[in-house]
Structure 1
């Protein structure tokens, strides 16, 4: 099936670049574009995309409010931005965003974020994941370890540690000599066990459970 994507960014050049990257993939089609947040919501309701790539800072309505407005629809929102400030990350995830990717993360990660969102997963740029881990480390002295979740297997523990270091599913597959589909299955099972909604929550659990060293 073809993944239908809406692009929302106030810079036409950025939208054009994203379109070129995505439409180079045989399973992705850009069905609409928007230059501001209000137009993004209107286009999403008109064209019924599977995934919306939305910039954080746009005229009339920002990306976080777009994510909030589309939270009750089938469309999955992935934030694509040059900004990685904590308030944006936390705000976007709280509003139901299905991913958070920096514009300089590279084409492969952008495509993987679209496919992950379509599959019902969430992907966060590795650089953001690592910085959030450091944020958790900074407050670690004021918190106690979380009660253990249902036991993880040795392989599941390896994958949690890789996620906490910012690895993508493909990178985990390459490092552990597994197929991509096998890694996706492990990640889905891990999130179910931990009750995690996205990869950032897996990272938080890994730190609080002392499975990783943020250094």
Structure 2
């Protein structure tokens, strides 16, 4: 059975942010799908059992389900989540990390830090 190439799901209601992250990931050899809302992502995730991103870059504040609610719905999936937010709130950050988030970055973030966080989330074992 062939293994599909790992990809990242980017969930952010700001299309320009989603596009920029998708381009950034693509420039490093990673594929990415973008979603405007947590509901859009969860619809795809729930309806297609084979749809499993290697990592999710998830905005905290979005219309409909917020990032923390999406994280709760994905609990037990084993998919690493990296949160991104323009409104850093220590309580939200602590809640996201306590629930197992692989990272929490404040917008605007450094591209290299995002790439490092995604690569670490996808392949946490350091290479010799």
Global fold match (TM > 0.5): yes
Which position in structure 2 is the counterpart of 1:186? none
User: Per residue, is there more strand in 1 or in 2?
Assistant: 2
Runs of 5+ unmatched residues, structure 2? none
Matched length: 122
Q: Which has the larger radius of gyration?
A: 1
Which position in structure 2 is the counterpart of 1:61? 65
Does 1:13 find its partner at 2:8? no
Aligned with residue 25 of structure 2, among 16, 22, 38: 22
Aligned with residue 107 of structure 2, among 91, 103, 117: 103
TM-score (norm. length: structure 1)? 0.52
User: Highest relative contact order (Cα 8 Å, sep 6+), 1 or 2?
Assistant: 2
Which position in structure 1 is the counterpart of 2:120? 116
TM-score (norm. length: structure 2)? 0.84
Runs of 4+, deviation exceeding 4 Å: none
Deviations 1:152-207 (A, max 9, x none): xxxxxxxxxxxxxxxxxxxxxxxxxxxx846xxxxxxxxxxxxxxxxxxxxxxxxx
Shift of 1:35: 1.0
Q: Tell me the C-alpha RMSD between the 2 structures.
A: 2.0
Aligned with residue 94 of structure 1, among 92, 98, 101: 98
